[in-house]
Amino acid sequence: MSEAGALQEKALLSVLLTTEDPTHSIYEVSDILRGEHFADKRYGIIYDIILTEVRKHSVADMPSVAKAAERQDIPTELVEGLSNVGVNLPLKALKKTAVDILEDYQLRRGKAIAQTAEAALTVNDLKGVHSDMGRVLDTASAKPFGRTSTDAPGILDHLAKMRVTGFDGMLTGYHHWDRLVCGLRPGDVTVMAGGPGVGKSLLAWCAGWNLTPEHKVGAVSLEMSDLDIHYMLFRFVSGVDPGRIRMAEMTDEEFERISAGLTTIMEKDFVIDYTSFALDDLVMRARRMKSEFNIELLIVDYLQLIRTGSDDTKEQEVASISRAMKELASALGIHVILISQLSRKKDSRQDHEPQMGDVRYSGMVEADAAVLLMLWRQLDETITHCKVEKNRHVGRFGRFDLPYDPKFGRYVDRVVS
């Protein structure tokens, strides 16, 4: 290991241990770097300890990390010495340093793919990583060309299996939705659009709930916090209102119901990211979800909160995000539910029923989506109206209603003829 390489590893750990915002810092590099990439295995263990503590929302300061490291036979002096490295590494240089460490690791292993990753990460001040790095990775693992002469028999076998299942995708558990779109297909994007408070996020999570644990579901939650999501899931299994949970007004019997449902929630095992407001980070985190957990569905909540970091107009920014989600779904072989707000145009109509052009800054969103599912309801209604406004592969269109179960806070299925 070179002296420069050792200094880089120490400098990166020093920043993670001394910064005022370790959560932000660790997520700057965790998509690139793992503990095994460190040449000094002791530093790799320290890095993994910091990452673990941050993921648990625990304190990852010098004393706590030193104590955890000591349990793994890492001298306390080694951890404490990282505060005196003497290198002032700017926070913005973390990604570059992480790539350098990764490159050293790959070269030690006789590989050079990290050189291309570094180039992608440094182009245009790290903007555009989602497309540049994605193309690098996708090209490196490209599949052979498809040929009808050899592929058709396999497709016919697939059709034979479909005669049993009846669908070509994952079932959401909502009969009419599934019948109209034939399930959620890998490589596609469903744009779920509606006005504020109509239940877009809830419907996406209900679909994910119905799919798990048979299918692994990931989510990028930019609107709901970890507490919000877990209170929602607690209600799913117990029927206890989240307001009573937040106000600590639960009875013993209600707390027991929540505790009894904990096993079910753990078995569902949603993989959730709360941090990726930047498009580049979101794409890299989604790739990591696929790599580590093999997710089949990704819920992104919601489109208008994602930022590209560019000076483009809002329409251009939304178009870039929409195209990135389509490329991501295709590259990873997953289905993406992309939640979107609607413009106020629908409010001018007497029935408030939305139309395709009501998607905020729509443009390419409508073009990239395989399915456009629109939601609305009247103020005094407990039923959410849904309609499939676009259906690229199947060509079926229709409306259906989803009643809301006020006790368990979930949508229940209703078959509509």
Q: Which of 373, 393, 289, 380 is nearest to 332 (CA)?
A: 289
For residues 170, 175, 177, 179, the Cα torsion angle rounded to the nearest 10 degrees is: 80
For 44-57, how does the pLDDT look when each residue is reduced to its tens digit (9 = 90+)?
A: 999 988 888 776 66
Is the pLDDT confidence value at 20 over 80? Answer: no
DSSP 125: T
- Residue 156 forms part of a structural domain: no
pTM for this predicted structure: 0.63
The pair of three-digit structure tokens given for residue 203, joined into one six-digit string: 């419907």
Position 136 scores a pLDDT of 44
Mean pLDDT of 257-263: 90
Other CB atoms closer than 10 Å to residue 77's CB: what's the count?
8
Q: Which of 289, 297, 262 is nearest to 273 (CA)?
A: 289
DSSP 336: E
How many angstroms separate the CA atoms of 332 and 325, rounded? 11
Q: Residue ranges of the alpha helices (H) in 166-225?
A: 175-181, 200-211
Same domain (yes/no): 216, 304: yes
Q: In sequence order, which residues have a C-beta less than 8 Å from that of residue 276 and are 6 or more positions away?
A: 220, 222, 282, 285
- Residue 205 forms part of a structural domain: yes
Do you find a cis peptide bond into 213, omega within 30 degrees of 0?
yes
209 residue type, one letter: W
- Confidence tier at 90 by pLDDT (50, 70, 90): low
- 321 to 122, 192, 307, 328: CA distances (angstroms): 20, 15, 8, 10
The pair of three-digit structure tokens given for residue 44, joined into one six-digit string: 């790799």
Q: Which of 148, 216, 198, 127 is nearest to 402 (CA)?
A: 198
Position 297 scores a pLDDT of 96
Same domain (yes/no): 301, 222: yes
Residue 265 sits in a domain whose CATH number is 3.40.50.300
The pair of three-digit structure tokens given for residue 341, joined into one six-digit string: 């707000």
Which of 122, 157, 182 terminates a domain? The answer is: 122
How many residues can be counted in the chain? 417
How many angstroms separate the CA atoms of 281 and 27, rounded? 9
- Residue 350 forms part of a structural domain: yes
For 326-337, how does the pLDDT look when each residue is reduced to its tens digit (9 = 90+)?
A: 989 988 999 999
Same domain (yes/no): 68, 176: no
Mean pLDDT of 389-396: 83
Which of 54, 88, 122 terminates a domain? The answer is: 122
Is the pLDDT confidence value at 167 over 70? Answer: no
Mean pLDDT of 224-228: 86
Same domain (yes/no): 313, 227: yes
Same domain (yes/no): 114, 169: no
Same domain (yes/no): 183, 74: no
Is the pLDDT confidence value at 126 over 70? Answer: no
Same domain (yes/no): 230, 82: no
- Residue 340 forms part of a structural domain: yes
Q: In sequence order, which residues have a C-beta less than 8 Å from that of residue 225 and are 6 or more positions away?
A: 274
Which of 92, 122, 152 terminates a domain? The answer is: 122
How many angstroms separate the CA atoms of 292 and 287, rounded? 9
Position 42 scores a pLDDT of 92
- In DSSP terms, which residues pair with 189 in a beta bridge? 336
Q: Residue ranges of the alpha helices (H) in 294-363?
A: 314-332
Residue 14 sits in a domain whose CATH number is 1.10.860.10
Mean pLDDT of 389-414: 85
Is the pLDDT confidence value at 417 over 60? Answer: no
Helix (H) or strand (E) holding 11: helix 3-18
DSSP 359: B
How many angstroms separate the CA atoms of 187 and 369, rounded? 11
Q: Which residue has the higher pLDDT, 277 or 312?
A: 277
Mean pLDDT of 188-201: 89
How many angstroms separate the CA atoms of 84 and 82, rounded? 5
For 296-326, how does the pLDDT look when each residue is reduced to its tens digit (9 = 90+)?
A: 999 998 888 888 877 777 778 888 888 889 9
Same domain (yes/no): 175, 111: no
Is the pLDDT confidence value at 355 over 80? Answer: no
Q: Total domain count for the chain? A: 2
How many angstroms separate the CA atoms of 338 and 370, rounded? 11
DSSP 406: T
- Residue 158 forms part of a structural domain: no
Helix (H) or strand (E) holding 5: helix 3-18
- Residue 359 forms part of a structural domain: yes
- Residue 142 forms part of a structural domain: no
Mean pLDDT of 83-90: 65
- Confidence tier at 270 by pLDDT (50, 70, 90): very high
Provide the terminal-to-terminal Cα distance of the chain, rounded to the nearest Å: 69
Q: Which domain holds residue 21?
A: 3-122
How many angstroms separate the CA atoms of 349 and 204, rounded? 26
Position 19 scores a pLDDT of 77
Same domain (yes/no): 92, 180: no
Report the percent of the chain where pLDDT is more than 70.
Answer: 81
Same domain (yes/no): 209, 304: yes
Same domain (yes/no): 255, 199: yes
- Residue 140 forms part of a structural domain: no
Is the pLDDT confidence value at 115 over 50? Answer: no
Phi and psi at residue 359, to the nearest 5°: -60, 130
Q: Which residue has the higher pLDDT, 308 or 161?
A: 308
> How many angstroms from the chain centroid is the CA of residue 67?
32
Same domain (yes/no): 97, 14: yes
